[in-house]
Amino acid sequence: MTTLDRDALFIGGAWTKPATDAVLEVVSPHSEEVVARVPEGSVADIDAAVAAARTAFDEGPWPRMSPAERIAIVQNLSGLYAARLEEMASVITTEMGSPISFSSLAQAPAPWMQIESFLGIAREFPWEATRPGALGGDVLVRHEPVGVVAAIPPWNVPQFTVISKVVPALLAGCTVVVKPAPESPLDCYLLAEMITEAGVPEGVVSIVAGGREVGEHLVRHPGVDKVAFTGSTAAGRRIGAICGEQLKRVSLELGGKSAAIVLDDADLGSVVEGMKFLAVMNSGQACVAQTRVLVSRDRHDEVAAALAEGIGAMRVGDPADPASEIGPMVARRQQERVNGYIEIGRSEGATLLTGGTGRPDGLGSGWYVRPTVFAGVDNRMRIAQEEIFGPVVSVIPYTDVDDAIRIANDSDYGLAGTVWTADSDAGVDVARRVRAGTYGVNTYTMDFAAPFGGFKASGLGREFGPEGLAQYTELKSVYLSAPAM
């Protein structure tokens, strides 16, 4: 056994022998060698986890605690999390190949920042409020926990997406079953240890890693009241259909094909530096990546050449090396998918300025892709319409601002976007006209006090902010006095 190997599942707050001998092998995307072996959860393990969560919700203390009592326990979790940020960053880099620079900047600290943000929101949240009724009597409006939550995160930002579901669910009084992706189960073992140490009661949280079969079983399970999913739009459609059949609550944070609109007065250096992070963050494996860069025809060649120079010079290499800016794809299938799209772009007639298929120089192993920039892209091309999830950027010309907004909106997705300009008022005007759930003017970030989510095929519901906490509650109206007749 390596130091990362595990032999138990976290079910109902206890380390439990799995129902089968099936094993998940966690493979390093850099070395292509097995770095850990952990139990692969089965349908029986999911049944046990849901049963524990159901009992804890229906009969246990957690939903019946005051918000202040739950806040105190989650505050314990926050302190424990803060003390293990470096360890968490290292584990995520090991299991899914995120550059350690990005893991140390975002993969580990951002989940802790979420916890702190949700704690502040929970302290001010209107768990109960009395309002005058329209007929003269008073009404007590309560936010009550939605019940047992199935939380299904992806592999690309595993803790970021786990915490965005588990923490608001806990603060609302829900119980939770987490199904991590099979590529990235290791970080959730650290979380399980912290949950136990924080004092979360027995049965409230279970973590069972597994593949699609156990994921669908969890979604369909009659003991689950709500599903919270982050992942591909195709999987989201499937989950949404199942939840629709069962009238089960669901929130879906799905894919994106975000556009960065560069206005003619934008500073070229700022655009290049911004896109070096925003277009290929996490090696391009990010749903909010600004992979379409829209530039006026007058500046197209200038901006495209600068982007190709800046992105093409980014250092590709071992994700454990702090100097690496782009790491490997999470799996061979993902490497093959991204390289396939690069070939599609060439066959569609886009101009390849830098990158292309083939292993980056100096790397003898690993699922790496060369950072790639295409110019002269038509928005109808597949590389402009389909989510590639790798370090591939398309530069698309537009005629005027109205045309840029039309192109930005000509997408099945609507998750994020940016505009780059010296005129902030003009930037805000563009932001108002683009149909995306989050938007930035000369920047892009996720502020955990504000709702995050998408329009169109980018999902349903919102995470973060009071709106994200409210996703884990049901509203109840209690009529306190008879209206005047």
Enclosing H/E stretch for 420: strand 417-420
Enclosing H/E stretch for 228: strand 226-230
Does the pLDDT at position 485 exceed 70? no
- Which amino acid, 115? I
DSSP state of 63: G
How far apart (Å, rounded) are the C-alpha atoms in residues 435 and 424? 19
pLDDT tens-digit profile of 159-181? 999 999 999 999 999 999 999 99
DSSP state of 359: P
pLDDT tens-digit profile of 339-366? 999 999 999 999 999 999 999 999 999 9
Contact 112, 82 (CB under 8 A): yes
DSSP state of 231: S
pLDDT tens-digit profile of 121-157? 999 999 999 999 998 889 999 999 999 999 999 999 9
Kindly list the catalytic residues: 253, 287
What's the whole-number mean pLDDT along residues 291-297?
98
What's the whole-number mean pLDDT along residues 356-382?
96
Give the chain's length. Answer: 485
Contact 143, 475 (CB under 8 A): yes
How far apart (Å, rounded) are the C-alpha atoms in residues 295 and 229? 34
Radius of gyration in angstroms for the set of CA atoms belonging to the chain, rounded to a whole number: 23
Per-residue model confidence (pLDDT) at position 483:
66
Does the pLDDT at position 436 exceed 50? yes
Contact 377, 342 (CB under 8 A): no
* Among 461, 417, 408, 477, CA closest to 442: 417
pLDDT tens-digit profile of 462-473? 999 999 999 999
β-strand partners of 295: 262, 397
How far apart (Å, rounded) are the C-alpha atoms in residues 147 and 227? 10
* Whole-number percent of the chain with pLDDT over 70: 99
List the chain domain ranges: 9-254+458-477, 259-448
Tokens standing for 36?
């850990």
Contact 413, 454 (CB under 8 A): yes
**Domain 9-254+458-477 CATH assignment equals 3.40.605.10:** yes
Top-level CATH class of 259-448?
Answer: alpha beta
pLDDT tens-digit profile of 193-233? 999 999 999 999 999 999 999 999 999 999 999 999 999 99
Provide the Cα torsion 111, 108, 190, 325; round to 10°: 140
Per-residue model confidence (pLDDT) at position 1:
43
How far apart (Å, rounded) are the C-alpha atoms in residues 317 and 418? 28
How far apart (Å, rounded) are the C-alpha atoms in residues 425 and 50? 50
β-strand partners of 23: 39
Exposure letters 306-339 (e unless 16+ CB within 10 A, then b): bbbebbeebebbbbbeeebbbbbbbbeebbeebb
Beta sheet of 459-460, edge-to-edge order: 14-16, 9-11, 205-207, 175-178, 148-152, 226-230, 249-253, 459-460
Per-residue model confidence (pLDDT) at position 384:
98
Does the pLDDT at position 482 exceed 80? no
What's the whole-number mean pLDDT along residues 281-287?
98
Which residue is it, tokens 């902010």?
Answer: 465
Per-residue model confidence (pLDDT) at position 3:
82
**Coil, strand or helix: which one is 145?**
strand
- Helix ranges (H only) for 125-185 are 158-172
Confidence of residue 25 (pLDDT cuts 50, 70, 90): very high
Confidence of residue 263 (pLDDT cuts 50, 70, 90): very high
Which residue is it, tokens 């920047």?
Answer: 443
